[in-house]
Amino acid sequence: MVKSVSLVVGEVFHLGHGKDSIVYAGMPSEGVFSAVQIKAVGKRGYSWNLFFPKRQRDIDIDGVTIRLESVTPEVITFCLR
């Protein structure tokens, strides 16, 4: 199943049952965008920034393949595969 998702900066999306969540963190430079991966373990949580080149089309976060459709400094749109 293919699901299209758009996130604005700071918006959270859960990748699925038993998977982590991500937050779109914008673009720190013209050719790079950032997503924050959030892992909840019991009552504790951990998060870290991931940086990707804007031209990259497929990324993998917590075993979920994400196909990028568009990336701007304010919004990211992607499909889950």
Tell me the pLDDT tens digit for each residue of 13-49: 999 999 999 999 999 999 999 999 999 888 899 999 9
Model confidence at 81: pLDDT above 90 = no
**pTM confidence score:** 0.90
pLDDT of amino acid 42: 84
| Domain limits, the chain | 3-80
pLDDT of amino acid 1: 53
- 7 Cβ partners below 8 Å, 6+ apart? 13, 22, 23, 24, 75, 76, 77
